[in-house]
Amino acid sequence: MFDMPPVVYAGAGAVVAGAAGSIWLLAQWRPGHPSPRTDARQRSMDDSFLDRAIRPVIGWVSRRSRALTPRARVASLERKVRLAGPGAAWTLDRVLAAKLVLAFALAAAGVWYGGRSGITGMAVFAAGGALFGYLAPDAILWGRARERQVLIRRALPDVLDQMTICVESGLGFDAALQRVGERGTGPLAEEMQRTLGELSMGVPRAEALGGLVERTDVDELRRFVLAVRQADEYGLPVARVLRVQAGQLRVRRRLEAEERAMKIPVKIVFPLVVCIFPALFVVLLGPAVIRIMRTLF
C-alpha cells in the first residue's frame, strides 16, 4: 500500500477536503424565506464560526467557477435557481461553488480509485467523476423545479376558485390575491405574496404578474396571467375571467388524471412479469413439480 504513487495520496487528501466542503454546501439547502433584515454586525455575530470561516472561501470558489463557466450557462443556471425557488440560502454563487467543489472532489476520488489501473484508468475515472460532480447540482435543481411546478399546477384551480369567490363578493383583484396568498400554503401562495409585495412597492400589475410567470414557468399560470391582462385591457369582468379559467383548469386536470390512469396498465406489465409472476409460479407449480420429480426419478 505504501508503494503507491504520491498522486494517489494527494487524491485521497483532496477527496477528504472536497467531501467535507460538499457536505457543508449541500447542508445549507434550506427552503423558506430569508430572515428579517438586521444590521451587518448582528448578522455576523449570529453566524457560527464555521460559517464566518467558510463563507469567504465559498465566495472565492464561486468567482472562479463563474469565470470558468460561459455566460449562457450561468444565465441558464440562474434561471434554474429561480425556478427551483429554494430560498435565500441556496443562491447562484453557492450553486457555482458546489459545482466546482463536487467536480474537484469526485475527480480526486476518481484519481484515487483509478490509481491501481494505471494512467488510463486514472484519467477515465477522474474525467467521469469531474463530469458527474459538475452536472449533479443541475440535476438537483431541475428535479426541484419540476416538483415545484407540479405543486403550483395542482394548486392553481383551487386558488382561482377562491379568488373568484372573493371577487364576486365585492373584493378587488389585488385584495383577492392578498386574501388567497395570506391563507394559502405552498409555493403558489409564496409567489402570490411576493407578487403582492411588488405591487405594494408600486410595480405595475402587468409587470408584477409577468414576474410571477417568469419565476414559475407554468403554462397554466401563464394563460391565466394573459387572460387577466386582456381583461384589464378590454374592460372585461375579472370574476367571469377567473371562473372560466378555473373551469378550464379543472377540466385539464381531470383529463391529465385520466391519461395517467390509462398509462398504469402499461407501466405495471414489466414488474408484473419480472417480479410477481415468477414468485406466483413457484408457489403454485413448485409443489407439483417436486412431486412429479419424485414420482419419475
In a domain, 246, yes or no: yes
Residue range 7-29, pLDDT digits in tens: 555 555 555 555 555 554 554 44
Q: Do 46 and 124 have their domain in common? A: yes
In a 13 Å sphere around the CA of 53, the CA atoms on its Cβ side amount to 5
Phi-psi group of 69: left, alpha or beta (phi > 0 → left; psi -120 to 50 → alpha; rest → beta)? beta
DSSP state of 69: S
In a domain, 291, yes or no: no
What are the percentages of helix, strand and coil residues in the chain, rounded to 5?
85, 0, 15
Total count of residues recorded for the chain: 297
In a domain, 276, yes or no: no
Q: CATH no. for residue 220? A: 1.20.81.30
Mean pLDDT for the chain?
Answer: 77
Q: Do 127 and 163 have their domain in common? A: no
Q: Do 159 and 215 have their domain in common? A: yes
In a domain, 277, yes or no: no
Q: Do 123 and 220 have their domain in common? A: no
Residue range 109-147, pLDDT digits in tens: 888 877 777 777 788 888 888 888 888 888 888 888 888
What cell numbers appear for 111 in the block? 484519481
Q: Do 82 and 207 have their domain in common? A: no
Residue that is last in its domain, among 129, 148, 167: 148
Q: Do 173 and 129 have their domain in common? A: no
Q: Do 100 and 166 have their domain in common? A: no
In a domain, 59, yes or no: yes
Strands of 91-184 (E only): list them.
none
Domain count, the chain: 2
Contacts 24+ apart (CB under 8 A), 79-84: 80/138, 80/141, 80/142, 80/145, 81/141, 82/214, 82/215, 83/141, 83/145, 83/148, 83/149, 83/215, 83/216, 83/217, 84/141, 84/144, 84/145, 84/148
Q: Phi/psi of residue 105, each to 5°?
A: -65, -45
Residue 45, SS3 per DSSP = helix
Global pTM exceeds 0.85 = no
pLDDT of 29: 44
Q: Do 17 and 116 have their domain in common? A: yes
Q: Do 175 and 239 have their domain in common? A: yes
Cα separations in angstroms, 131 against 20, 104, 127, 183, 246? 19, 10, 6, 44, 44
Strands of the chain (E only): list them.
none
Residue that is last in its domain, among 95, 123, 148: 148
Residue that is last in its domain, among 124, 148, 172: 148
Residue range 176-234, pLDDT digits in tens: 888 888 888 888 888 888 888 888 888 888 888 888 888 888 888 888 888 888 888 88
Buried b (16+ CB within 10 A) or exposed e, 145-183: beebbeebbebbbebbbbbbbbbeeebebeebbbbbbee
In a domain, 15, yes or no: yes
In a domain, 190, yes or no: yes
Residue range 70-107, pLDDT digits in tens: 777 778 788 888 888 755 457 777 888 788 888 888 88
Q: Do 38 and 144 have their domain in common? A: yes
Q: Do 214 and 228 have their domain in common? A: yes
Q: Do 101 and 208 have their domain in common? A: no
Boundaries of domain holding 17: 6-148
In a domain, 273, yes or no: no
